[in-house]
Chain A
Amino acid sequence: MSSRAAILGRVSAALAGADRVPPPRQEYGAPAAVPDVVGLFVERVEDYRAVVEQVAPQELAAAVARALGGTDRVVVPPGLEGAWLSALDGAEVLVDDGDLSPDDLDRCGAVVTAAAVGIATTGTIVLDHRPDQGRRALSLVPDLHVCVVRESQLVGDVPESVTLLRAAVDAGRPSTWISGPSATSDIELERVEGVHGPRTLHVLLVRDGDGLQSPA
């Protein structure tokens, strides 16, 4: 007998005569009552010792350039809004064509991506790796991650965010949930920022609703 059949057989035998518990009645994706989603998001991202800046759409390119500071080589996903990089001065920009090796990425000091969702309560950014966010390795190997999030992408809490994830999963895309820079608590359960992922997370939160064109 195959192990598959054996395991499934043992499961069925174990459950013979068991009370089958129905799924709980659960309202999925219920919006959280967060009065100030933007304010809370900023506060909670800062809690992780990430950098958060609120910028107007027309200030975004300059803010990206500032955030990248003295980085020589920047990698960006193929679908990134070109205007966001228009104020860069001197840095070499590699647009990922899918062929950059891990070593190539390791030679990039920074990455700029968009995001899919921002979660206020937990201060989390969710990437669903659409073309403006790129494949997973891009936002992982470089040491600085500049991430552009629009206010309209913010939700109150985790449930709304999980609901939004389904479209990405159905499209076969992975997702990465990022809450601050990489960190560890493995030494005496004391939090230290900066292990294998980007050691600096710089979030640019783009205002909307001020009558100006959103960059996307």
Chain B
Amino acid sequence: MRLPVNAEIAFTHLITRKKQTLVAAMGVMIGITVFIFLNSLMRGFDRSANDSIFRTMPHIRIYKEDEISKPLQEKNEKQEYVIVNPKIANTTKNLINPEQLIRILKKQPDVVAVAPDVAVSVFYNNGESQVNGIASGVNIMEQNKMFNIESFLLDGSLRELEATQNGIILGVGIAEKLNVRLNDNITITSSKGKRKVMKIVGLFKSNNATIDKSKSYINVAMAQQLMNERPTYVTDIFVNVKDPEKAAEYISSFQQMTGYSAEDWKKANEQILAAFRIRAIMSFAISVSILMVAGFGIYNILNMIIMEKLNDIAILKAMGFPGMDVVRIFVMQAVIIGVMGVTLGLMLSTTVITLMQKVYVGGDIGYFPVQYESRYYISGIVFGLAISFAAGYIPARKAADVDPVSIFRK
């Protein structure tokens, strides 16, 4: 019969030291709270950043890569090198037979939306003021399905663009610089030198300042005219898949399927995402450090209890408690403190998240973008308990090695 004698001893030790036990548990509580809150917040930031990325960027973009001109002959017959000056070949960025490509892509599993795009680099003019940027020739209703443009449209309407051949929906940044409003006219000039007078039928604000200062939506046909091209001219095909995190996995198959280059959104935003990743690693490191400090708190109180209890340990060993029981007695104390701290920490972090969600930060972000992230709750519990266990195990091992005879002789 195994009686819970070790547990009884462990509890007695803690109960006779309520205050210190509580302080150590509070250390764990704070560690867990910081861990869960900070990591959840970082994930929230990433989510809101991704949301803003996906307002104007597809998960995958298929386009024709610039070709570098190659020498016509590698070497002449005398085995002498021919020196050439490689430069971007003067070919169009036209995707051949885009209709068919779109049809094929739409049939792929995991593909949720496909839309063509004609990117035209343009100057926006209003009198003397001039801004350069990219006009996207789109079927606005189709792109709306992909990017939910309507959700960040400030003024005007998408239908109006569809109905107005020379309509344009401008980023607010451009409108501000050119000092124009809805229904005003502006001139745009393409890189091919074509000029068109356009009517502003909408304004959008994507919360990405760079995009808002350069991008506009126009009709596909207008974009093709600006490029002096036929109605089949398409520069990009945008593809959205089920799980954007897995976008990179489709790249090679899409490239083979279409014969063109494909780029996923992560590749296109490598720098921003690298910064995010560093931020996430930093906050993870900080929160784990705080948990470790909480672990030191447990380690401290246990070391203290063990120092005070050398006599008890000697008596227990004399009565026939093996070393392993002594380890159990003290590890149990550490784990009890850990469980208390983790439980309090879960409650506190939930409270903090609930409160912070109601705080308005403004700017691109709006409300504090923090949610209850179950993954950090789970890893918080695991880390918290693991650290408590380790913090107890180390001094407990020492306690198990106490030689009762040397204690009794004192």
A binds B: no
